[in-house]
Structure 1
Amino acid sequence: MSDQTKLVALPAYLPRRLQAFRIVRGDKTSYVLRDKLADKTYDVEQWQFFVLEVLPGCETAEKLLSVFADRFGREISEHEVMTFFAQLADQKLLDEEAAKHPLLKPFTRQGYALEQGLVKPKSFEELAVKMASQGPKPGAAPAAAPAPGPTPGAPDELPEDAVLPAGVNEADSLDPRQTRQLFKFFPMQPLASRLLPILEPVKYAIYLLPLVALVALILALRNFDTLWSDVNSLRSATTLAVHALFSLVTINLAVVLTQSLVAQKFRASLGDFGIGLRFGFFPRFMVPIRHTMQLSRRERMWMHAGPLLTRVLLFSIGVLLWYNARGRYEGLANIGLGLTFLCAVNLLVEGGNPLVKGNGYHLLAAFVDEPQLRGKAYRAFLDRVRGGASTERGQMLLTTFALASFVYAYLVVLLIVYVSGHFLIKEMRLGGAALIVVVALGVFLAMRTTNRFKMITRAYERSQQFERWRKRALPSETADAAQAEAPKSRTWYYMKRALVVTFILLLFLPYPYDAGGDFEIFPAARQVITTDIGGVVEEVNYDGGESVAKGMVIARVASTDLTAQLQTFDARIAAQKAVVAELKSKPRKEEVAVAQSDLDIARQRAQFSGERVPRLERMYKERTISFEELDSARKEAEVDRREVTSREASLALVKAGTPPDRIAAEEATLQSLVQQRAEIEGRAGRTVMAMPFDGTILSLHLKDRLNSVLDKGAPFATVEAVGSMTVEIEVPESEIGYVKVGASVRVRPNAFNDRTFVGKVDRIDGNVTVKPTGRIVKVIAVVDNHYGELKSGMTGYAKVDAGTMPVWQAFSQAVVRFVNVQVWSWLP
């Protein structure tokens, strides 16, 4: 829109002290009369200025009306013309020459009236009514005053740069220019008029609100941990849509109803109750409120203080309801918790925050009676930054307010970017594409916020210019020609194209692509040190937390009984070994010689006894001896022969040695004793608890267990290896194709966010794990941990080397995957 102001000729019958200016704003034209002596300005519409210009040639009202109809293509009533003349006369804008014109002459004679004993000038409005020869004709345009104000409720009639009163300007539901599309339900005016007499006595309860709010705040602060825990539980169990719906039917409905009743009390007009979209997507109940120009500063303040007090009341009710119903009435407790949380967020983030265009800001603007508070503050801040002298009063306060608004706005942008990035990268697992989206969103929001600040500043400057036009700040008589705009530099033109070309070239540069995911650290080896021998702990060499080499004794359980058993078995084994050795040493030479000697003796004895029998038989035949002697000799000879046989067998047995089965039996007995001793020795060895590998003792205060009884199988300490750690990486299913065994891995734990540990992929899980965030495949990597800094259970983010690819391919994986899979599935 272009604005042009030009000095034009002053119409007849107006004082010469006036100057006339034509103002062209887009397709609208208006005029301003400037009184150089009185330092005042008067707004005149186009048709009114035309009447003044043609008035010297129109002596009668009929001719004037005819000329007007020819010029504007519509009719105007004599009543409107006379009313216009009366207003000129009341403002002393007719000179002495006006008495010579038939239509203006009656308006040059001032009448007077007596009121309460005082003589006062009469208004020319009554004269205009008497002089009107006819009423308004059908189709005639409505009358307009020389300085018409904007008509409340008609946003099309308000100039874009017009400034409404503080508390109304730019306020939702109050400023007609902020009107949104509403889905209307019913007229609010009749309902408010019926509810106001019923609910008006409730306003006296406001004196109790500070006490109730203070009690609620104290309860919330004293039970903050419990309150926050319940809020987190409620948030995890409730969706965002449910929160929005609950806020709509509680807080928003109560606020709209309160504001409507306050507006009804102050004689403003209420539109239809309906539902519209806040920020383009958030449903909110709304009631347009019109005819707010008539409201006083105090009433405008109450238009915004009422909704704020309603939110404070709902917050207090929510805290009290939650505190008293918790643990008994779960439903009521959740309702109170929801009211508490949503009201607190609404008061801190939007409604009660003076840095946001809400009730808090408009209340502050109405309090200081500054409609353009933000624009004025931004202007003062810019003047301060540029080093110029600001013309605004309270520059320091305005600058501080503007700086706080800037910081808050960009903090909100950072918060939105962080939440979006966390959702897209951590939960949606979009990888590089998510990074592009987050960066683009951040740049867009930052530019949008910056442009918003610039628009507010420009709007303030335009409004100030508009007010200057209305308040005498018009160009001088010599400013007839418009100033030529300075030629624009083409540097930015070429810079934009260079940036585009550079960006395209960057897309084809090689980019090291990484497949990443969250990880958790596990030890490469972990053991629980224990023993199956119960007893008294008689020795503890470490207290816990130390790094211990493999084989070092950590603790020892008393083994006196086992030592005694070992000594007993040692004696038995020695005896049995002697038996086996004796058996294995046979036949010995001495035993063979003895057996041979015994055999020789037996043979000689058998020979002697055998030779004796024939002699005795002869003697018996000769009856020299008795039969008994012969029989005895025979028996003795037989015994001696058998003795020879026995001695021969003994000699053969001695020469044969010990039988192998006998030796085997004795060796088996010896082996049994050895095994029993080994079992006892093993049990005695297990009373010594040693470090199984190079690592760290995780358990602490081990020396406190000295001389205590350790039960059989009870754990004594936990140890883990520290040379390397196993990292379990959750790689998204969509990126597992880029992961290979042996690929380089870089991990960055949360505990050491400024350091990177390297390792290699050891193996890839053959199963796909389903998690709430999506499908993942576990990749096991081994990471060096020479200094023992990595601890079991640590988490963080890991990157697996997936090779090199162009930048455009690396950051468009999600899009390419969608086309190759989802779009392909749609094709026949």
Structure 2
Amino acid sequence: MTPSTDDISKFYDRLNSLGLFESDDERPRQLAPSLWKQRPLLQKILFVKIKAFNPDAFLERSLPYIKWLYSPYMLPVYLGLIILAFLAFVSNRMELTAQMKTIGPGSIPLIYVTIIIVTVLHEMSHGYACKLYGGRVSEMGFLLLYAILAFYTNVSDAYLFPDKKKRMKVTAAGIQNQIIIWALAMLVWRIMAPETIFNHAALIIVMLSFLMVIFNLNPLLKLDGYYYLVDFWGIPNLRARAFTYWKQRIFRIISPRYPQREFPERERRIYNWYGLAAMLYSTGFFGYILIKASRFLFFEIGILGVALFYGVMLYMMIEALKKAGFWNVVMSEKGFILKPRNWIIVLIVVAGLALLSLVIRMNLRISQDCLIYPIESLTVTSSDPTSVELMLDRGSGEKSVQRINLSGLDVDVLSIDPLVNEGDIVTNGQVIARITSSESEAQLAESQANLDRAKSQLELLVKGPRPEEISQTEDQIEQVRMKLAKSKSDLERSEELSAKGMIPAQQLENDRTSNEILKAELSFYQNQKLLQKNGARPEEIAIAQANIRAIQSQLDRLEQQLAANSIRAPFAGVVTALRADSTLITLARTDTMRIRIPVPEKEISPVKIGQDVKLKVLGYPGETLNGIVTKISGQTEKGVVQQVFIVTAKAPNTLGLMKPGMTGRAKIYCGKWPIFKILLWRIVRWFRVEAWSWY
């Protein structure tokens, strides 16, 4: 079939847009070496590609069995699955975050296996999508991208698809697969019990899938996001072309005679912004790796290891500039560069910059991670049944511990009862807990009853008998008198009969005894009547009053003992914790918070008390909070990498955003310094102290 003129014209335009034609005014090109040889050593190290196998035959045989997964009818299923997983994630994000913190070194083998399985599924999705639209997949393998292990699938056949949407679907297939795997793992994690291996594996897949999606969406690395942009803009080798465009711009600044290739206006805009972003990202990412490697070598080997490392890096950078043609361009303008006038201009510019660095002053800021504490806190603990400890931390380094011993109390059943709930706001002096026992409560009740009884007896003594009682006594006296009169008459008759010998002597003796008893009974009632009329004696009242005082003293002692066992808040604050373990209650004053900032000893010299502090907490990244340095520790502590001084700052918590235990990033503003001094101070910190002894 003979192609039409229109088809040939479109084919020509396509090849020309891909840069596959040379114009007549371009220099004839020599046969280019292989792509591997063209790359500088630095790029060979940062981007290593290893072919593993050809998966085309396997994909061809297995495609009919999984083709239904790529059917449009599955789209609602996938969307529903993702929405359901997202809702599960939102409703359980706190539990998910807490469980992620439990992943330890023992999970490393499972993490590696999970990475391999998930990544292989990701790459297979690209391959199946390419095969679905009639392409070939001739290569799968490994990538070492900026020292990070990755996988790749060669789906370059997709560039031959005339339909742009199909090419983009092949590129997006991996990320779509990753999101579906994340959704499935999220639902499995939510359903399975936390102690099972399925829950643990699903948790790792959720975490890794999320990170891999974010990583692959980055268009500034040659991953899925980058290739999606290539398909969207229709510019193959976008990254290389953007770098070539910027190389030409930079070389034209050095040498105006450097030949420059013309690009369409649309491509120039894309190359301009994408190339700039890619260069800045690559430079920053490579610089981050460089700094981390430098610190590791510095602390493990020393200055010699760092010097050797930077020597190798410098060689690779010079070799990269050489392969890019930088030195050829510079040498072509050697005469222009070496002109005295140009050197004078350079020296003037350098001197001007140096002068500006001495005149312009900037804030020296020391930035470190920080931990937030309350300005004051009270912790009530009971590590053993015989005591309770109250530890009061005033925040300025002043700490006091009060110990309440329970062993001296005669107790049967002891309990420490909190009177507040977690989250309650308490006032200064409010009782927040009470120590009680069955014995002390019983003693208090008994003493109160004794006091009431003693007071009643005293009241009876003071008031005296009632008239009814006196009248009753008089009736009893009258009855005894009548009995005594009859007894006296009987006694006289018995004496007469006894004198005549008419009765026995024993009967006379009985009558005399009865008469004497009645006389004594009459005397008792007469004395009782006299006492009732006269009232209680002062001595009896005094004894009753003394008895009341003794009982009251015992009652006061018991009440004081109970009051001493009542735990009161020493300040107004919030109950932040209420537990049943050894730490019973934690009370915090949160209107002002303490900021704990570990500052390395190399950076402590400019830090002074009274300097401003600005911080952001992880919970509220959009809020900037202000504080002031209040204390610098007098000795160092062991940090993660080096010795640190603990700098304490105080920050008002007006909005209540800061909570005890929060973390964030704090910046200490150490005053305005000249730019030159700041740069020199930071460079000096790179070296060990021993290095200065070499001079």
Q: TM-score range by the shorter chain?
A: 0.3 to 0.5
Larger RCO (CA within 8 A; separation ≥ 6)? 2
Q: Which has the larger radius of gyration?
A: 1
Query: TM (normalized to structure 2)?
Result: 0.43
Query: TM (normalized to structure 1)?
Result: 0.38
